[in-house]
Amino acid sequence: MSTPTELEQLKRQFLEHTEIEKGRAVKTIENYDHYLTRFLDQSKVKRASDITEPVVREFRLWLNRQSTGNNRVTGVTLSKKTQNYYMIALRAFLKFLAKKGVSSLSPEAIDLAKVPERIIDFITEAELGRLLDAPDTHTETSDVKSLRDKAMLELLFSTGLRVSELCALTNDLDLTRDEFSIRGKGGKVRVVFLSDVAKDAVKKYLAARKDMNDALFIQVGKEIKTKGASPLTRRSVERIVKYYAIKAGISKKVTPHVIRHSFATDLLSNGADLRSVQMLLGHANIATTQIYTHVTDKGLRETHKKFHSRRK
């Protein structure tokens, strides 16, 4: 077994520091490990001082010419966004080295490639209404599955939760209150709020459950393939949302994240300020929240009509 190089040891220290001191998610650590390992393997550098601008430039050229895993035949290369993930990991590593006093390339020398502005998938207010009403909960004999799915959809729209955050909820929510705390990305805690409709839907769902599972959203009926009901997974929630979108006659691709978009655009369209929406969504950077503003400024159309010169 070969002895780890200086850089491999430093990489391990960086990953441990990022997980323990910085409190980043395990998945983030795994991604950083993958990106940095690929950089070290490809560049063949052995010492921190070997990381120079020419070395990074050569690596970026190599990255830019790599075909994606599913597109080797067609020759589709890695997107600029994916290439930037490598650079973000490398920049974070160089910041760690600088903090430790290890001589290497300055992290400021790492620039990210420009990427096309993100296009948001969103549904109209009418489509959202049909989606939320799609589960059949309008009869006294509504089954647990319909009640669960109604509660899940209403909760997603009321809180703007990420699907991973939704799947982590337990059934001990205090439904006497209009708010609860959620631990999001990077272990950061934020407060989200329950609408009366969402609270009522969750209450009806919990009242119909007969199991002892601690998870809020679990498998029911024919979904149960083992002796006990398991908590819903991210993929399960995505399938459920897709099912009701089709049932509601929505031709667009609808995911839990699209409902999160609808939550944000609804708030901004009705006058909420950007900083408040940032806090409700749990975005670390307000620039992430700003992607919603171009679809929510109702005044832009009126401004265009009023002031844009028209040919006589």
Average pLDDT per consecutive 10 residues, the chain (312 residues; last block may be shorter): 76 93 86 94 92 95 80 66 93 94 93 76 89 85 88 96 94 90 86 94 93 90 75 94 95 93 88 89 85 66 64 50
The residues facing 182 across adjacent strands are: 190
Instruction: Give pTM, 2 decimals.
Output: 0.70
Bridge partners for 193 per DSSP: 179
pLDDT in tens, 195-236: 999 999 999 999 999 888 899 999 987 777 766 778 999 999
Question: Which fold would CATH assign to domain 125-301?
Answer: hpI Integrase; Chain A (1.10.443)
In the chain, ranges of CATH 1.10.150.130 domains: 6-109
Catalytic residues: 162, 185, 257, 260, 283, 292
6-109 belongs to CATH 1.10.10.10? no
Boundaries of CATH 1.10.443.10 in the chain?
125-301
